[in-house]
Amino acid sequence: MQISVELDPNRRKALWNGFVACDICVAELNIREHLFMPYEQFHRYCGARESLVEDFLFVSSVCFGVDLLVGRESAADNWTRELSVEIPVRDVDLWNNQATLLGEILRFLTGDRWTLSFNKRVVPLYIKRINRRRVRRYAADTVCLFSGGLDSFLGALDCLSTSTGHVALVGHYDAGLARTSQLELFQEIRNTFGRWRTHLFQARIGFQPVERTEAVDFGESTQRSRSLVFIALGVYIAHQQGKDRNVPVLIPENGFIALNPPLTYSRLGSCSTRTVHPYFLEKLQLFINNVGINTQLSNPFAGQSKGEMLNSSPQSELAKSLAHLSVSCAHPTRRQNWIRRAAKHCGYCVPCLVRRASMHAAGIDDGLQYGIDVMAGELDIYEEVGADFRAILNLLSNWNSDSQYVRKLVNRMSIPDGQYEQATTVIGKQLEEFHELVNSKATREIRQWAGLT
């Protein structure tokens, strides 16, 4: 499927924030949507000057947009899409030399076949306005991605507690509770560390409907490529501190979710999300180094379970007291069948189950933070929305019946060389937390599913 990107240099067609008129076009599906990037914020924050990292952020945003627009039903197998995308950049040869590697990264991330090619961009992405706001640059020694989830909150707390430098928190958001959660947690961080130790840069990258008021009808909802644009945003902010400073970018995620091991055989391959997978980060690091971006990416929690993160944090008590402000749920707005509709978490998706096990390990779980308390039997195990819960219980059952199960599981995964033992250890620690939660709070039927009775 051929996808093109069209930039219109007409100043009158540029968005109110100065971003050039940019359409992503999928002729085969009769799709043309206007990409949105918050260039007014970029300009105020760091000047929005032309640079290599600007192209990296733009290319990542285009790929994210393509991922959203093209539904999987268009694929021959209703899953694996064939996506051929041509993108305008400043240095065509540089990007075309790395196109294959970037396509491989996207394939690992989304499960699709990406063919990328690049043409010359002669149009600036930012069209300066006469009455633009004054640039206000913020210095930073570290950039930490800040999603509004519990892991990113712990990442920010740990970074600020173990260093004396300035930390830039970078939040990407779209629909849902992420933006509000980020702001609430950020305010608490400032109350603890002072207003000059940290600042928050929030951005929405997505689509701007053209000449109509209705929302864009996305063809794909999984947003598997979102982490690419989120990391690119962090790299962009880090690079504005000076390309010779090499400000690192932290991507805080507990080791179990980062690995996201296949809970069942049907979840092997691209059916298991890989947004912070170590193989993805390793290949992305290689890519940005190859194009000349000297920014170090790392996940400080790659070897820890979520419960371990909560209990070992230098700000453990603060994190526990404010954990309720964070949002870790995969779909926090689907509340139609929740018992507690004021809750922020469904209680039955994988992130919710990992979160609850960690909070039980930290001694702060009461089950009332979730729309559905699955341990109390509020969800029929056989319901469609119970698929993740059943998968976790089956994983526990296999682990309980086979002492070598975790090692066998890791052997089926794509793990970078030298990280097999860490992967085995962190999955084992998370399973211990699941075991303790189910054994302590689940009904007899649920414990039987997990092989505990």
Same domain, 274 and 412: no
Last residue in a domain, options 282, 298, 314? 298
Q: What is the pLDDT of residue 48?
A: 60
Q: What is the pLDDT of residue 12?
A: 65
Same domain, 188 and 240: yes
Same domain, 290 and 171: yes
Same domain, 329 and 401: yes
Same domain, 51 and 147: no
State pTM to two decimals.
Answer: 0.93
Residue 431 lies in a domain: yes
On the question of pLDDT at 272 being above 70, the answer is no
Pairwise pLDDT comparison (451 vs 41), residue with the higher score: 451
Same domain, 148 and 38: no
Q: What is the pLDDT of residue 108?
A: 94
Segment 215-225 shows an average pLDDT of 68
On the question of pLDDT at 135 being above 70, the answer is no
Same domain, 158 and 245: yes
Residue 89 lies in a domain: yes
Residue 27 lies in a domain: yes
On the question of pLDDT at 214 being above 50, the answer is no
Same domain, 147 and 292: yes
Segment 38-61 shows an average pLDDT of 84
Residue 228 lies in a domain: yes
Alpha carbons 270 and 273: distance in angstroms, whole number: 7
Range of the domain at 100: 2-120
* % of residues, the chain, pLDDT over 70: 91
Same domain, 156 and 83: no
Residue 304 lies in a domain: no
Q: What is the pLDDT of residue 263?
A: 85
DSSP H or E run through 22: strand 21-26
Least confident of 75-84, 340-349, 366-375: 75-84
Helix-strand-coil split of the chain, %, nearest 5? 45, 15, 40
Q: How many CA atoms lie within 13 A of 140 on its CB side?
A: 31
Same domain, 191 and 278: yes
Segment 318-328 shows an average pLDDT of 96
Contact present, 251 and 348 (Cβ < 8 Å): no
Alpha carbons 453 and 131: distance in angstroms, whole number: 70
Structural domain count, the chain: 3
Same domain, 56 and 193: no
Segment 373-386 shows an average pLDDT of 94
3-class SS of residue 345: strand
Residue 198 lies in a domain: yes
